[in-house]
A and B are shown apart, each in its own frame.
Chain A
Amino acid sequence: MNARNYQKELAEETNAVDHLNEILKVFDRSGVTPVYGMKFAGVGYKLQTPIIGRVVKRIINGVLHNEGPKRKHIGVDGHFGQVLPIEDASYIIENLAAEPLTLNYCVCRYMCRGEKDARCIIFGVMSEIADKIPRYIPENVKRPMDREETTRYLESFSEEGLVSTIWFHPVPYITAICSCENPDCMGIRMRQDYDIGLLYKAEYVVQLNPDLCEGLGDCVSACQFGALSFSPTKNMVNVDLDKCYGCGNCRNVCQHNALTLVPRNDIKQVAGRY
C-alpha cells in the first residue's frame, strides 16, 4: 500500500499518458495485434511446444514485467495485476486512488462475450484517457464519481461474486480496480490456463476451521478458481491452498464464519508463491 504508486508525479515519471494512449487505442485488439512480432492467436499451442514453449513464456513474462527505461509503449508492456480482498480494494478507493474516479465498461467482457457490463473502476490519468472512448462509457452513471459511491459499486460487485483485482498501467503506476470473473477475464485466464504472470495471487490465503464448517457448500460455488470442493464423507469442504487466490469470496458467503483469510506468508505451504 504505497501511496506514491497512485500519484500524478509517478504517472509523469513513467510516461503513463503515452502508454495508456497507445494501449487503450488497441485494447480490444490485444488478442490479434502481434507483440514483438509474435501473434497471440493460438498461444496455447505455442506454449505446449516442448522447448520453444518455455522460451515464449519467458519472453511474455519479461515483456509484462518490463520496468526499464527502454520500455516501448506497445502491447501490454508493464501491465499486470493482483487479486485483492474486498477490504483492501475499498481501502484503496477510499484513501489512495487518484481523482477522478470513473466506472467503465469492462473491455474483457466485451471481447469475450460481446456484452457491455460496467465493472471497471479506473482512476487518475487513465480516466481522462478513457473519456476518449465513447463505446466504453456507461449510460446512467455519473462521471466522475465520488469515493463513497465508488466504494458502494465495488461492494455490490463483490456481493455478486466477482473478484477484485488491481492493475498497473504501466508498472509501478496503479490505475484500475476491476471486478473480474473466470474465464471471461483475460488476466485470470492467462494465469489460470497458461501460467503467464499477468495476474498474481493476493497477499492472503483462506483457512478452514473444521469445527465451524457445517457443510452448506455455499463457498464452493462462490470460488472462481476451483480451489474448494465439497466432500460428502466429511460433510465439509476441502480447500486446495495451491489454487487459492485469496480473494475472500468464499469467506463472504460463509454463514458460520468457518473460513478466514490469513496472510499468505504465515502458511508455510504457500509462502511467497503469488
Chain B
Amino acid sequence: MIAVRKGKTKITIDYSKCGPHGDTDPRECTKCLRQCDRPVFHLHHVIVNGDNPWDPSYWQVTPIYTSQCTRCMRCVEVCPVNAITVSW
C-alpha cells in the first residue's frame, strides 16, 4: 500500500555534520533511525579506497524509501546536529 501524497518528498542529510567526515558517528547516534516509523533511512558503510571491505570504518545514513516518508518531521527534531532537512 502506498499512501498518496502530493509531490515528492526530498530528504537531504548534511554529511559535513553527520557521517564519515563529520563530528557525529551515525553508528553511535542512530536517533533518526529509531524515530522513523517507516524506516526511511538506511545505515550503511561507505567504500573508501584502501579500506577493508569486510570491516569498513566509514558509515553514513542515507534516505532510501523517501516515497514512504509521512512528513512527520520527527527525524528533523531529534537530530542532535541538525543535519536533516525535509522538504516537499
Contacts and interface: CB of A to CB of B under 8 A. Distances in A.
Interface of A: 25-26, 28-29, 31-32, 40-45, 48, 110-115, 132-135, 183-184, 189, 192-194
Q: Looking at A26, A111, A135, A189, which has the most chain B CB atoms within 10 Å of its CB?
A: A111
B24 interface: no
Contacts of A45: 8, 66-67
A28 B64 CA distance: 13
B67 A112 contact: no
B1 A193 contact: yes
Interface string B47-88: 100000111000000111111100000000000000000000
Q: Looking at A112, A134, A189, which has the most chain B CB atoms within 10 Å of its CB?
A: A112
Interface in B7-37: 8, 26-27, 29-30, 33-34
- Describe B's contact surface by its main secondary structure: mixed
A189 B2 CA distance: 11
B55 A133 contact: yes
Contacts of B30: 113-115
14 contacts: A25-B53, A25-B54, A26-B53, A29-B47, A32-B44, A32-B64, A41-B66, A45-B8, A112-B39, A113-B30, A114-B26, A115-B34, A193-B2, A194-B2
A67 to B, nearest CB: 27
Contact of B44 (A31, A44, A113, A184): A31
A42 B33 CA distance: 17
Q: Which 8 A-B pairs have the closest CB atoms?
A: A44-B67, A114-B30, A112-B39, A31-B42, A31-B64, A114-B33, A29-B44, A111-B42
Q: Looking at B43, B45, B55, which has the most chain A CB atoms within 10 Å of its CB?
A: B43
